[in-house]
Amino acid sequence: MQRDPILVTGAAGFIGFHVAQRLLSAGETIVGLDNLNDYYDPALKSARLELLSPHPNFKFVKLDLADRAGMEELFRQYRFPTVIHLAAQAGVRYSLENPHAYVDSNLSGFLNVLEGCRHNGCRHLIYASSSSVYGANTKQPFSIEDRVDHPVSLYAATKKANELMAHAYTHLYGFPTTGLRFFTVYGPWGRPDMAYFLFTKAIAEGKPIKLFNQGKMRRDFTYVDDVVDAVQQLAVETSPVSKAWRVYNIGNNQPEELLGLVSIIEQKLQIRADKILLPMQPGDVESTFADIEDSVRDFGYEPRTNIADGLSRFVDWYRGHY
């Protein structure tokens, strides 16, 4: 490895894979960490890693974030000027049944990342937060400035806790931290547990789809390449702001109803969906809508992909891959 590597945690995951690919193409050296858990099909994680692994500037480390000794050893072995922390136990509904997984990965694991940064001269920690932090907040669009966070799931609560933990570490030890509240990220190589993926699979297979809140839920679907643009901009194209704790919305600023999402998939596949309309689920929020003014102003964030184009790329990938 030539230069000091960037650590990308969750590199076998959906967003981490895309981030690692982009940064490798831009000439960066990457250490990718993942525990390759079976929250969803591990074959998809292996397939992503198979694409990254041949790159001479990529090294994969299989490690659990919650393994304190392993994490200490990793941070001693390399000096990471920048850490992009994307590994986490994701998923709102899963957190109702498996709360301990969230404490292990998202709280203990996050602490191990913070400690690694603190003791080993990291100059910038960028980490994934989530739009779910806004929770039951009804003032739209969601703005960081309003400070109206009402997490309604343990998953969301751990993401809010990450922002607070990062605040304390920046305050105490001075390294800059930037939290990114991602809004429903979708795209090729996406997560099989997410609605757009489940719908595409079910419609393609002629199976019914479940639409909670009668399909009236709105999500600010954000295409993965736009998210990667934001991460790249912050990680390598702009200098971190000294001693700054920052949190940004990374959304599309254009919410779409689930029924609208389904109709785009139907048109693309040329198959009519068999829809089962159901009530709201505990832990879900009715609508998400990102105010992205700060991200635009501070680092030139610009979501470029509309939902029809982005979903069309996803469906093309889905058909090619499966």
* Catalytic residue set: 155
Q: Which residue has the tokens 């879900």?
A: 284
Q: Angle at which helices 42-52 and 14-25 pack, to 10 degrees?
A: 0
Phi-psi region of 79 (alpha: psi -120 to 50; beta: other; left: phi over 0): beta
Closer CB to ligand NAD, residue 60 or residue 172? 60
Kindly state the smallest distance separating residue 150's Cβ from ligand NAD, in Å.
16
315 binds ligand NAD (CB under 6 A): no
How close are the terminal C-alpha atoms of the chain, in Å? 35
The stretch near ligand NAD (CB under 6 A) out of 20-28, 182-190, 269-277, 303-311 is 182-190
Q: How far apart are CA 16 and CA 48, in angstroms?
A: 10
37 binds ligand NAD (CB under 6 A): yes
Helix, strand or coil, per DSSP, at residue 182: strand
13 burial (CB, 10 Å; 0-12 / 13-18 / 19+) is: buried
Site mask for ligand NAD (CB under 6 A), range 98-137, x = bound:
-------x---x------------------x-x-------
The stretch near ligand NAD (CB under 6 A) out of 20-28, 83-91, 164-172, 262-270 is 83-91
Q: How far apart are CA 34 and CA 65, in angstroms?
A: 8
90 binds ligand NAD (CB under 6 A): yes
* Beta-carbon-side half-sphere exposure of residue 65 (alpha carbons within 13 Å): 29
Kindly state the smallest distance separating residue 158's Cβ from ligand NAD, in Å.
9
Residues forming a β-bridge with 290: 142
Q: How far apart are CA 65 and CA 101, in angstroms?
A: 11
* Six token digits for residue 152: 């309604």
88 binds ligand NAD (CB under 6 A): yes
Residue selected from 21, 29, 35, 82 as contacting ligand NAD according to rule CB under 6 A:
35
H-helix or E-strand containing 198? helix 195-204
Kindly state the smallest distance separating residue 60's Cβ from ligand NAD, in Å.
11
DSSP tag of 142: B
235 binds ligand NAD (CB under 6 A): no
Closer CB to ligand NAD, residue 8 or residue 262? 8
Nearest to 4 by CA among 24, 41, 30: 30
Q: In the complex, which residue's CB is closest to ligand NAD?
A: 13
The stretch near ligand NAD (CB under 6 A) out of 58-66, 118-126, 204-212, 231-239 is 58-66
The stretch near ligand NAD (CB under 6 A) out of 62-70, 200-208, 254-262, 264-272 is 62-70
Residue selected from 184, 200, 253, 287 as contacting ligand NAD according to rule CB under 6 A:
184
Question: Under the rule (CB under 6 A), what is the footprint of ligand NAD?
Answer: 10, 12-16, 34-37, 45, 64-66, 86-90, 105, 109, 128, 130, 182, 184-185, 191
